Structure 1
Amino acid sequence: MSLDADQIVERRRLRRKVTFWRVLGVLGVVAAVAVGVSALIGRDIPASSPHVARIMIGGIIRNDRERVELLEEIGRSRASAVILSIDSPGGTVTGSEQLFDALRRLAAKKPVVAVVEGVAASGAYIAALGADHIVARRNALVGSVGVIYQFPNFTELLKTVGVTMEDIKSSPLKASPNPYTPVTPEARAAVDSLVKDSYAWFKDLVGDRRKLSDAKLANVSDGRVFTGHQGLELQLVDELGDERTARAWLAREKGVSEALKVRTWRTKEVGDEFGWLLGAARGVVSALGFPQAAALLTDAAKGALERSQLDGLLALWHPRS
């Protein structure tokens, strides 16, 4: 009887192992297919043929030399126009500035229209300002004109565990503020000057690109986000609609035929468009019987991965949950 019970337990263990490896095998196949499909979507149209180029701006914006080179390549291609599809909360100030400058150079060669699919906040709105025309969905979010500098401070925690950080510096403001000592008024003032300087640049950019009076600029530059509908009235966007609206504007104002096909251009880096990998990881953990842990793990991993790569001044909208 005991032998039969042991055999049953062993068979169950073997079955679990076989199931686990089958799941991994299926995920491997899905991953390979997804990579192939992602590489092919929107790229069946050769760059040497007349077309409308589509660029996706999603996730956290940071310095990206490959994306700048991609925009330069589009400028040399036979694309008749460019659609900038945006769904991003922003990112670093320098990364957003880099993207804006690259888009303005591209706009000098070809008409560029931005389409806000979900969010174009903070640094992503800076990217939208690089376009000649901004279209937003009625309930998309735009704006969040502002700059933030964040850093953790572990001073109280270190006191609790009995640890003191000592440093010897060439001057009082060297490496200040740091997370291990209380922030001095001088260090806070120094960072405040950085934030205000970048904020002034952001405000001036909005005022110049959107042709806003001082009064209207003050209304939209307090850090709030607005719906596309509100943004239209506030002159943050030019039209409500979607990519079809953008194509109609290109045809009407720039003479770009609506019969031209759209080609999606992508960099070679694995970016936010590969969010399916997180989904696959979530599927594995769920298959093992931990659905809640899977949700927490993947959400936390995604947020941590993106924010861990950010440093310095941020033009980023992240509502508190």
Structure 2
Amino acid sequence: MTSSKNTKALFGIFAMVFVFFVILVVFAYFTMNAFNETSLVQKKSNKAHIGVITVEGVIMDSKDTIEMLQNAEEDKQLQAIILRIDSPGGAVGPTQEIYEEIQRIDKKKPIYASFGSIAASGGYYIGAATRKIWANPGTLTGSIGVIMEFMDLSKLYEFAKVSPQTVKAGRYKDAGNPARALTPEEKDMMDKLIAGVHKQFIGDIMKRRAGKIKGDITELAQGQIFSGESAMEAGLVDSMGSLWTAGRAIHTDLKIKDEFALKFIDKKKKMGFLDLMGSLEESVSKLNFNSLAEMANTKPRLMFK
């Protein structure tokens, strides 16, 4: 009898938890739908012929930006795309992937850039892939360079009486190991790597802006930061103005007959029930483990920053 009561009580608890979870999912579903509907009203999507794709923060992945670029490419109503860039840079590989996709799409649909508060290093790199760049006079611009950082913690390990042991195959495999300093041979290897990627950066800028750069691009690409105004004087930027100034200029240049409006492109969200449950699970997982993963990840990264 007691066992039967315990079973019923346990079942009741599980039922309550399940109902609570379903309510949470349904609430999240309708909240996201309401947000999307509001966004659509603000976009004036029935009138806009110029799409805006926002690139914000450190560039560590290319997938979302490329997906939005492809969505804008397929949108037959859009006659042009503006990349709204507000980024200090990021990882080399994803930045170069975005640059490449901009070049491909621009052959069919013109892509322009509008710089916000900062468009430095990788942020400038993807902006340089576009046809024309607008910046604000005070936009932090440039920082054309490459960096890879290492930490030598050998003295700290010595103080803590810790003796790390490394087993490797390949003499360069543990180059950058924080337990020791780089050897001269490793330092030379890294210098050549950085110099090669820096050359790629400069080369990609010159592919798009060779006739616009004023002065020696090598001297302009020493990692220095320019204001938007100074960047325009050096030919790194074409015009001064906000996103809306750029949009109106493009609207006029393309002779678009309809009223001027911008359509802000968002990443397409899957809104199925199972997709939403998966999204919630992923969010909880990230909340618990992201900071630990970042702390554990001591591998050096090649960065445009």
TM-score w.r.t. the length of structure 1 is 0.71
Partner of 2:36: 39
Unaligned runs of 5+ in 2: 1-27, 270-289
Deviation at 1:68, TM superposition (A): 1.4
Residues 1:249 and 1:216: Cα distance change in structure 2 (over 3 Å): farther
Structure 2 equivalent of residue 71 of structure 1: 69
Of all paired residues, the percent bearing the same amino acid is: 25
- The aligned residue for residue 240 of structure 1 is 240
* 1:312 counterpart residue number: 301
Q: What secondary structure is seen at the aligned counterpart in 2 of 1:263?
A: strand
- 1:244: how far off? 2.5
Question: Distance between the aligned counterparts of 2:30 and 2:230, measured in 1?
Answer: 42
Counterparts in 2 of 1:233 and 1:34: CA distance versus 1, 3 Å: farther
* Structure 2 counterpart SS, 1:43: helix
Q: How many angstroms does 1:201 deviate by?
A: 0.5
Q: Return the offset for 1:98.
A: 1.0
- 137 and 40 in structure 1: CA distance in 2 versus 1, 3 angstrom threshold: farther
State how far apart, in whole Å, the 2-side matches of 1:120 and 1:108 are: 23
**TM-score (normalizing by structure 2):** 0.74
Judged with a 3 Å threshold, the aligned counterparts in structure 2 of structure 1 residues 194 and 257 are, in CA distance, closer, same or farther, namely farther
What is the aligned partner in structure 1 of residue 139 from structure 2?
140
2:255 maps to amino acid: G
Give the Å deviation of 1:87.
0.8
1:253 alignment counterpart: 253
What amino acid is aligned across from residue 61 of structure 1 in structure 2?
Answer: I
Unaligned runs of 5+ in 1: 1-30, 270-300, 317-321
Please say if residues 47 and 258 of structure 2, whose CA atoms lie closer than 8 Å, have aligned partners that are also in contact: no
Amino acid at match of 1:64: S
Alignment of 1:103-182 (within 5 A): 103-182=102-181
| 8 Å contact kept, 1:41–1:264 | no
Structure 1 consecutive aligned stretches of length 4 or more whose deviation exceeds 6 Å:
31-34, 46-49
1:152-191 per-position Cα deviation (integer Å, ceiling 9, x unaligned): 2211110001111222332321221211122111111111
Counting only pairs closer than 5 Å after superposition, residues 160-309 of structure 1 correspond to structure 2 as: 160-211=159-210, 215-257=215-257, 259-267=259-267
Deviation at 1:311, TM superposition (A): 5.2
C-alpha contact (below 8 Å) 1:137/1:240 kept by paired residues: yes
Which residue identity lines up with residue 314 of structure 1 in the other structure?
Answer: M
Tell me, in whole angstroms, the C-alpha distance in 2 between the residues paired with 1:305 and 1:252: 47
Q: Kindly tell me: are residues 147 and 168 of structure 1, through their superposed partners in 2, closer, same or farther at Cα, counting changes over 3 Å? A: same
Q: Give the 3-state SS of the residue equivalent to 1:183 in structure 2.
A: coil
- RMSD (CA atoms): 3.3
Q: Which moved more, 1:237-246 or 1:171-180?
A: 171-180
> What secondary structure is seen at the aligned counterpart in 2 of 1:61?
coil
The equivalent residue for 1:85 is 84
Asked if 1 retains the 8 angstrom alpha-carbon contact of 2:79 and 2:109, the reply is: yes
TM-superposed CA distance for 1:61, in Å, is 0.6
